[in-house]
Structure 1
Amino acid sequence: MNIDALFCSLSPLRIAELIRSAQRAVCYAAPGIQLDLAQAMVETVGRLGKEMLTVSLDFDDRVMRMGYGDIGAVTLLLGAGISVNSSPGLRTALVVVDNEGYVFTPTALYLEAEPSDGAASNAMRMSGEQVAQALARLSPAAKAIAVAQAKTPEAKQQIEALTVDVLSAPITVSRLAEVKTSLEEVPPVRFDLARQVRVFEPYLQYVELSLSGAAIQRHRMAIPTSIQKLGGSKDLEIRLRTTFELIEKGSKLSSKPLEDALNEIRKNFTPSLGKDHGRVVLKAAKPYLLARLTEFRTKLEAHQKAVEADLQKHLDTSREQIVAYYQARVIEAKPDALLGQSLNGEISEVAAKKWLNGELDKVFPSAETLIQEMKLDERYKDVTFETLNRNDFLESVKDAFPNVDWEKAYSEFRAAGQSQLQDPIAK
């Protein structure tokens, strides 16, 4: 590190080295603290005395889920008798070792890995006066350290006159237990995995498109059991068994043109990655997909209006066919439901027809109901680590989108992980 540079690179390794080199005092303030830095402080406290080390954190489970700190590090510090204060909302990071101080950018591990030495200028060196001012305004414990380090009575008096700017309070045993319990119940994600997933999130999204209720030609109605018991013949045997096709095959009410149009959209914008992966859309192409789906919904609405004009006629005709087919059988079979209503033990044509229509009312849909069921469903889902980590994922993506440079994304995917993971999508 260039000792004269104002802007510099301050990695966790470098901060730990500074802490271990401390001769008089250590002050650390940040959203959170990781275990390696806490361990360095514990190793140092025996030389300096616990009153000469102080830590200020935004002690909250949500902060730790962002990757700013580790609950084990706080437990370790408190166990060593090191002063740890909770400063809600703290996002600026500060480390002071003796009279050497830095303001630096803390790293949220959920978003990116910790910087390595020399990777980037993430810190600014503080002057001796700025160090004293920062300590005095951070917390009472830090202010006490600043007073102890003052070289002259005048400097000591100036520091004592300063007011503490940051609201803080010691972390209590009950608050420590509360945060521990919350993290045990809802553990943080593995940050390296979360970063790897985000590499592909800007590129891809899983999508499911389904057209429901439009295929009226495939609607079948279950014949009520009371009617099935009457028996049957060869008439209407193609359509009339235990179920009945509401619309005859080849009807102009068929949804096939709509289904073909939707399949064309699927083919062009949502290629399949294989039966185990499903379909995906490039997020860059998603606006075009949404535009095509808007056009498709216009076609669907037009189909609904066209169907509405003729559908009820078809349904009425189908009902009449069933009634005509079974009416004679009702008169012959004399079901108990009708005998119980007869004054002479005979079933008239009117009574038979009325009873059949009553039974069919229980199962026969109306045209309005069928039309209302016509809809296009869209479901989008972001990629997960489990899907990314399948053996054939990358090759499937390359096959589906051959014009996209996936090598760049793949390189970023590997770089995003910190731990030595088994990487089955590697070549």
Structure 2
Amino acid sequence: MNEVFSLINSKKLIQLIDLAEKEIVLIAPGITGEVSAALVSAAKIVGKENITVILDKDTNAVRYGYGEIEATETLVKNNIKVRSQDNIRIGIIITDLDRYIFNPTPQIIEAEPEDFRIPNAIRISEYEAHKLLNKINPPSSLFEQEDSAEIGKTEITNEVVKKAKEDLERKPAIKPDLARKMLVTSSAFQIVDSHLEGTKIERRTFRLNASDLGITDPEIRNRISASYKILDNVEFETLKEIDNIYQNICELYLIKVKKNDTVILYENRKRFDKAIESLKEVIKDSKEKLIKEISNELEKSKELIIPLIMNNLKNQSDIKLERLVLPEPLTEKTLWNYLKRKIDLRFPKAEQLLKEIKLKIRITNVSDQLINNEDFRSEIEKTFDQDFDEIVRTQSALGIKEEKLNINFDRINE
């Protein structure tokens, strides 16, 4: 005798789909890529017209961990009709062999169940399944069945999938396995990951090839290269100021508690944000000045490297040199102008160097996992000279509060 209570997860769905011979009806908030692949394969046996799929087109279903937008896209691309029912949170799987109503798992909270002793589904009778099918695919009109159906009245098209993917790109879903670790607490402090990158532009180098070095021997041309420090020993006071402001902000508000963990007291958060806004203003106001300063230094650097390359080029025959400057005659000036044009193309522009300067700040609440880490608790207590439980006020939440701030010069005026 078949048991009434059962377990339905993605693995079980795939098994049921693989065994189907005549019909498949699947209703759920979302599905995984493996389930969509099984449906595509099953369509070759049962026929696409005998497969009914109804999903939630709302991207929050993906964010809650009910499925993947790519799985829906796979079905649509393979011409398996997918209908939409907004905010549906029940699951139904009906084939010619089995019939279940089940509770889909929001995987940002917990992983799909694996233990069959903990059921999440009820097996229904053929009669009950028939009643459901009459509401899902009413037999009254083949051409208007979705209009008279109780659920899934609209179709998920390529355009719907495209819009959903764009929305998920703007507001990405957290991977379920990661999200489950982030049942976070509202705490007295937050974790900060902060980096200011690209301010050390004096470390940039310019690659010198064999021709620049005057090497004509074909045996070693491809084996040798060198580098030239473009802005060696050049200090830009404005960049130094930006770097100092950033370091001062970090020292004032951020606290190192262990190897790679930095925290900020929540009471300092507003002041920290205000300081970052001030730094943004410094960056914005400095852009034009920096472009001018860096451009001047780049020109000086070119003036130093051109004579070296020019002297090395003179090891070549006049015929080769004449070809370089054509249609002009070969003179010191024309050779210089030729090299200047080439160096201009190969040297970075000031704007390019500024694009590499980025301020990245990521702030997250302290996760339960980290709060239960004894090493972390101990470090916090040492740092603040206070009992951990007095510092932290835990409050369970769904998901993680995450804030990102990215600053770079090419977008500073947006």
**Max Rg structure:** 1
TM-score (norm 2): 0.47
TM-score (norm 1): 0.46
